[in-house]
Every structure is written in C-alpha cells, then in structure tokens.
Amino acid sequence: MQDPDQPGAVRGAEIGGGEHRRITHRHPSLRSRHCPDALDTIPSSSAAPISARSRTGLAMRPVWTKADLVCSVLQHILQLEYRGVLHMGAPQIAIIGGGIRGRIFAETTHHHPSAELVAICEPNPARAAQLGGELGVPTFESIDALLDSGAELDAVVVATPDFAHEGPAVAALEAGVDLLVEKPLATTSEEAQRIIAAAERGGGRIVVGFENRWNPLFRTVREQLRESGNALVSQRALLQDTIHVPTEMLGWAALSSPAWFLMPHSLDMATWLSGAEPVEVYARGVRRVLPALGVDTWDRISASFAMSDGSILDLDSGWVQPLGKPSVFEFRFEIETTQEAFVLDIDASGARRTTSERTTTVGSPSHDHRGRPVGVAADMMRDFLDAVGGADLDLPGAAHGLLITRAIEAVHRSLETGAVQPITS
Ligand SMILES: NC(=O)c1ccc[n+]([C@@H]2O[C@H](COP(=O)([O-])OP(=O)(O)OC[C@H]3O[C@@H](n4cnc5c(N)ncnc54)[C@H](O)[C@@H]3O)[C@@H](O)[C@H]2O)c1
C-alpha cells in the first residue's frame, strides 16, 4: 500500500475493485467524517485510473447513470477534502505534559491522517523545545498560556503527573473542548468531581486513559467471559515495576504511590472484565526501601476488594523490584469463574535477549518502520481522535474514572487506618 500520509494515497480508492479496494475502503484518510460511507456507494465500474480522467473525472464516461454521477461527485469531494481544498475541520489537538506519555500522544496525533497537533504545553523548557522542535509545533509553558494565545482547540490531552491533572483538565473543559486525561482521573475524589463539574459547564466529553482496554488479549478474554456467561469467583492481578520507575523515571514518585500509578490499570481491567464494581477494600503496605532512598512513598501495596457481584479481587502493586528483572514492569492477571480459569502474562510476550550477565525482554517496538507510535496507548489515542472527529466509540468515561479514584482513595484510607473501607459511588 502507498503511504497514507501522502496525497497519492487517495488514488488507491480510485483505481479499482478487489482486495485493494477493500483495504483502502477502511482507511480513515479515505473516509469523509460527514459522509463516512461514501465509498460504499461507489460501484467499482465507476472507478477509472486517475490518468484516464479529465479534471472533474466526468467527461471521460460515455454513459452516466444518476448513481454514477452522484458517486463521482462524492469521490471528487473526498479528494478535495483530503488535499485540504475543502477544510472540513481536522480536529485541533493540544497535548498538556510533554513527558513519557505526552510524547506518545503528541507523536500519534502528528501522524494521524485527520487530526492536527497544534500545541504542546510543558513547563520544562528543554523538554518542550525538544518535543516541539521534533514535531514542528509551538510550545507553551501552561494550558493557561495556550488558551490566552487565542488558540482554537477541539480537544486536549492531559498527561501531567498523577497529582497534577485537575488544573489543566478543568481549564480545558471550561474552554468547552473534549478531554483525554491520563489515569487516574485525579488523586482525590473532590478533584475528580471538580473536573466532572467543569465538563458539565463547558459541554466537553471526558475520556480517561485506561489503556489496557486496547490490549487484544484482555479484549479476547472479556469476549470469552461474556460468551460463557459463567459467574466470577475471583480475580487477581500482580502489577509492579522495578525500582527504576520511582527513583529514575518519575521525578514525582513521592507525590504518588504504587496504588495511584499502577492499580488504576488493574482495577479498571477487573471492573471491565467482570462488569462488577468494587464495594469495599482492605489494604496492607510496606514502606521500607523507597523512604530510605528519600522517596517518601509505599514500596508495595496489597489490596483485597469485595466486588458488587459477590466475587473477590486481589491487587498487588509495588515499586521496588530489583533492576535485574527482565522487564521494567511485571503484569500478571488471573481470572477464575465457576467453570474456567484464565491467566494472562502481559509482560511476558515477545522476545528475550540474554547476555553473560542478564536476560532482558526485548519488548514490542514503540514505533513502526515509519516512525509511527504503536501499542495500546497509541491505539487509545487514535480512538480518542476518531471520537473527537465524530466516531461513535465506547470509551472509558468520567463516572468510571471517579469510581476508580474513589476506590484507590479507599485503599490509602485502609493503609492509614488498618481497617476495611467502604467504596462509595
Ligand atoms: N509512564 C507510564 O508508563 C504511564 C503509563 C500509563 C499512564 N501514565 C500516566 O500518565 C501521566 C503522565 O505520566 P508520565 O510518565 O508521562 O510522566 P512524566 O513525568 O514523564 O511527564 C509528565 C510531564 O508533565 C509536565 N508537567 C507537570 N505539570 C504540568 C502542568 N501543570 N502543565 C503541563 N505540563 C506539566 C512535567 O514537566 C513532565 O514533563 C501520569 O498520570 C501517569 O500515571 C503513565
């Protein structure tokens, strides 16, 4: 296939039928947001090589039915839209936070065929200059500076540290734009509620970045659970990082915890797989290694949840695994129903590399051969962009984000009190 980022790619739809036609039909850059099924209506007989066409493509045909005419005009409009002659409004996107996640979201938008990356907001000047320079977009030190500049936006992605989601999220939503906010929605339920109230005032939509829903393994298991319909007995997830994450990767680990950083992933997945909600939790934790290194947070947290369907859920998350581990993270998920059991080793797929000192996971590449981000975060971002462009997609929303925030808050309350804590919804 041709490069869909190049104008010539449109010709794929014009040249003919068969498999080639089927593939290009699905490509987002060939579909009008306002007439998504336009290509469906084009009979293959009306498709002629572009070189055989007049400027309008109409004069070369000896006999024209009404359907031919409509289809040809639709094709023409699609070409014009793709070339930017008719600007039908590529969504204008800004990324807030130019760190690890912000870079993935910015690069994904940069490569998206029908969205436009218009700004990056990042207070670290060196990071801002690097990312903005690479992607050729203006940078601002904050979302307030961006909004003051009069920028026209359709959506904003908030990828700031866990504790710093509320400020930019509220500013974006009050400006009336859509929002993708990284998990957790916020680290207090009051902040999460203020974000939701801002969306109600401004009219924007909130999507919370529970990226594991884009993992095909989890999707397949969820489908099989739905098909079998067996009641759940238990779920258990081990999700932990090596000590690299809180001591080297994140500059703000002391203001978060393994529960805020990791458990939203596993808790969201447990609710998404089961359809059940957490109703109460008892948690235990250890603070030994990280505080001694000056990072004042929990090393490891173990939380046992009662779920609304009568099943139990045990989540274990930690930040002190030794650097010698083959991968920076370890993620194992187990599900038991009345009739079956599933085990998912999310970290264990792919290749491993062994030297005389150590075996490491080669891992999946973060970019494809043309530099486009790949993986669950990029897939999630593409769906968000498509939704901003008008696609009707089922994406994790604000009410669920608030539930997860309330549940992780209850984990911390239980750690502090040593007692079982209810999770109110
Ligand atoms: N790193 C991961 O593996 C991962 C995975 C999933 C989700 N997340 C979530 O994504 C979010 C970001 O994590 P990260 O790993 O990219 O962190 P990071 O530290 O790499 O990046 C955060 C960036 O936000 C900037 N920032 C801080 N306050 C800001 C503000 N008010 N406005 C604009 N920028 C601001 C920081 O300077 C930094 O560059 C967190 O909520 C995290 O839990 C991270």
Q: How far is the CA of 79 from the centre of ligand 1 (A)?
A: 39
Q: How many CB atoms lie within 10 A of CB 248?
A: 11
Residues 205 and 218 in one domain: no
- Residue 96 CA: which ligand 1 atom is closest? 33
Interval between CA 157 and ligand 1 midpoint (Å): 11
- Give the residue whose CA is nearest to atom 5 of ligand 1: 101
Distance from the alpha carbon of residue 260 to the mean position of ligand 1, in angstroms: 13
For ligand 1, atom 4: residue with the closest CA = 101
Residues 314/333, Cβ–Cβ less than 8 Å: no
**Same domain, yes or no, for 239 and 349?**
yes
Sign of CA dihedral 168, 172, 132, 91: positive
Q: Compute the distance from residue 284 Cα to the ligand 1 centre, in Å.
A: 27
Examine residue 281 and state whether it is found in any structural domain, yes or no: yes
Structure tokens of 114?
A: 């029908």
Shortest-distance Cα residue to atom 41 of ligand 1: 162
Dist. CA 246–CA 296, nearest whole Å: 10
pLDDT value of residue 388: 97
Mutate to test the pocket of ligand 1, among 105, 122, 160 (most ligand atoms within 8 A of CB): 160
Distance 289 CA to ligand 1 centre (A): 24
Residue 42, burial from CB neighbour count under 10 angstroms (0-12, 13-18, 19+)? buried
Specify the ligand 1 atom closest to the Cα of 121.
33
What is the tens place of the pLDDT at every residue in 334-371? 999 999 999 999 987 778 889 998 888 887 788 999 99
Note whether 176 and 298 are same-domain residues: no
Residues 278 and 339 in one domain: yes
User: Mind listing the pLDDT tens digit for each residue in 220-274?
Assistant: 999 999 999 999 999 999 999 999 999 999 999 999 999 999 999 999 999 999 9
Between strands 312-321 and 232-242, the pairing is parallel
Encoded tokens for 285: 């934790």
Q: Which two tokens stand for residue 193?
A: 């509620």
Rounded Cα distance, 6 and 70, in Å: 26
Q: What is the pLDDT of residue 11?
A: 28
| Spacing, Cα 206 to ligand 1 middle (Å) | 18
First-to-final CA distance of the chain: 49
Report the distance separating Cα 218 and Cα 314, nearest Å. 17
Candidate of 101, 146, 244, 408 to mutate for ligand 1, largest count of ligand atoms within 8 Å of Cβ: 101
Q: Which atom of ligand 1 is nearest to the CA of 127?
A: 39
In angstroms, what is the span from residue 161 Cα to ligand 1's centroid?
A: 4
**In angstroms, what is the span from residue 232 Cα to ligand 1's centroid?**
35
Residue 253 tokens read as 């680990």
The pLDDT of residue 315 is 99
What residues flank ligand 1, with Cβ below 6 Å? 96-102, 121-124, 127, 142, 159-162, 164, 167-168, 182-183, 250-251, 261
Domain annotation covers residue 276: yes
Nearest ligand 1 atom to alpha carbon 167: 31
Nearest atom within ligand 1 for CA of residue 377: 6
Quote the pLDDT of residue 347: 84
The per-residue b/e assignment along 404-416, b for 16 or more CB within 10 angstroms, e otherwise, is: bbbbbbbbbbbbe
> What atom of ligand 1 comes closest to residue 265's alpha carbon?
6
State whether 108 and 60 are in the same domain: no
pLDDT at position 352 is 85
Q: Is 252 exposed, middle or buried (0-12, 13-18, 19+ CB in 10 A)?
A: middle
List helix spans (H) across 35-142.
Answer: 66-82, 100-111, 125-135
**Atom from ligand 1 closest to the CA of residue 251:** 19
Q: If you measure from the C-alpha of residue 103 to the centroid of ligand 1, how many angstroms do you get, rounded to a whole number?
A: 10
Q: Could you tell me if 309 and 226 lie in one domain? A: yes
Q: Whose CA is nearest to atom 35 of ligand 1?
A: 97
Give me the torsion for CA of 364, 368, 369, 370, rounded to 10°.
-160
Q: Which CATH number covers residue 259? A: 3.30.360.10
| Residue 195, domain member (yes or no) | yes
Tally the domains of the chain: 3
Q: Is residue 327 part of a domain?
A: yes
Residues 320 and 346 placed together within one structural domain of the fold: yes
Give the pLDDT of residue 3.
Answer: 35
Q: With 0.95 as the threshold, say if the pTM is over it.
A: no
- Residue 249 burial class via C-beta count within 10 angstroms: exposed 0-12, middle 13-18, buried 19 and up: middle
103 and 201 share one domain: yes
Separation between Cα atoms, residue 184 and residue 211, nearest integer Å: 11
| 356 and 243, same domain (yes or no) | yes
Share of the chain above pLDDT 90, in %: 74
Q: How far is the CA of 100 from the centre of ligand 1 (A)?
A: 7
Atom of ligand 1 nearest to the CA of 143: 32
- Ligand 1, closest atom to CA 260? 43
DSSP code at position 212: G
Residue 10 Cα to ligand 1 middle (Å): 37
CATH of the domain at 168: 3.40.50.720
> Which of 345, 363, 381 is the last residue before a domain boundary?
363
Q: Which residues of the chain have pLDDT under 50?
A: 1-27, 30-63, 79-87
Pair 133, 403: CB distance under 8 Å: no
H/E run at residue 173: helix 166-174
User: How many Å apart are CA 333 and CA 342, to the nearest integer?
Assistant: 8
Q: How far is the CA of 128 from the centre of ligand 1 (A)?
A: 13
CA distances from 165 to 179, 180, 376 (A): 11, 11, 21
Q: What is the domain range of residue 97?
A: 92-209
